[in-house]
Structure 1
C-alpha cells in the first residue's frame, strides 16, 4: 500500500468517525490532486449549521507536522467563505487518536511553509472534545 493510499484510508477513518457522531461529512475526492483551481480542504463536516473544515495529516512517529503554505491558504479561504472552523487534523499512526489543531498554532517554517510543533499537536483538541464543543454538550470537566 502506498503512502498516498494509506493517507486516504486515514481520511476515510476520520470522516467515518465524524459521521458516527451525527455530522454530515464530505471528503474531497480530489484532495492532494494536481487540480489547483478550486480551493477546498480534505474534509468538511457539518452539524446543524456548524461547519468544520479539516486538512488531514498523518505521521508514523511523534514529530512536528509540516504543512505547505498552499494547503493552509486553501483551508483558510474555504473556511472564510463557508463560515467554517478550520483545523489541521493530525494522527500519529498507531495511537488511534485524532488531534485538531487550530491555524493560530502554526509556526512559520521557512520557504513559506508552516510547522506544528509536537507540543501544539498534543495540546490540540481531541476529536471527542471537538464533537462535544460543536454539539454544545458539556463534559464533567466543564464543572470543575
Structure 2
C-alpha cells in the first residue's frame, strides 16, 4: 500500500487515526506489489498498539474460503479460491497480528461477494483489525451495491 501523493489524509478524530492508502493495483509487477505491502506493514507498525486500527481495502487478492494454516487471521468463512495475492495479504496480516474480519462470520455468498460482473463474482475487499481488538467486532458483511470508498 502506498500513501496517496494527492489527497493523503492523516486525521485524528476522537483518538482515531484515519489514513488514506492506495492498495496494490492489478497489473503491477510482483516487486511493486511486494513494496506496497511492505509499506503498508511499516505504516501499521508505526501506529501505537494502544490505538485501534481498522483497515478496509481492496487488496486485489483472494484469501479464499479455507483458512489452510492461517487460522489466526482467517477462520474459513471467506469466498471462493485463494490466489497468490491472497496468500501475500494473509502473510501480511499474520505478521501484523491482524485478522480479516470478513472471514470470521458465516454469511450467504451475497454478503461475502464484493465485486460481481455477469457470471464472475469475487471477494477482494476486506476489513482487517488487530487481533487484540476482535472482541469489539460483532459482525461484518458486504452490502450488495454499496461501496465503502469511491474509486
Q: Same fold (TM over 0.5)?
A: no
Normalised by the length of structure 1, the TM-score is 0.30
More strand by share: 1
Normalised by the length of structure 2, the TM-score is 0.29
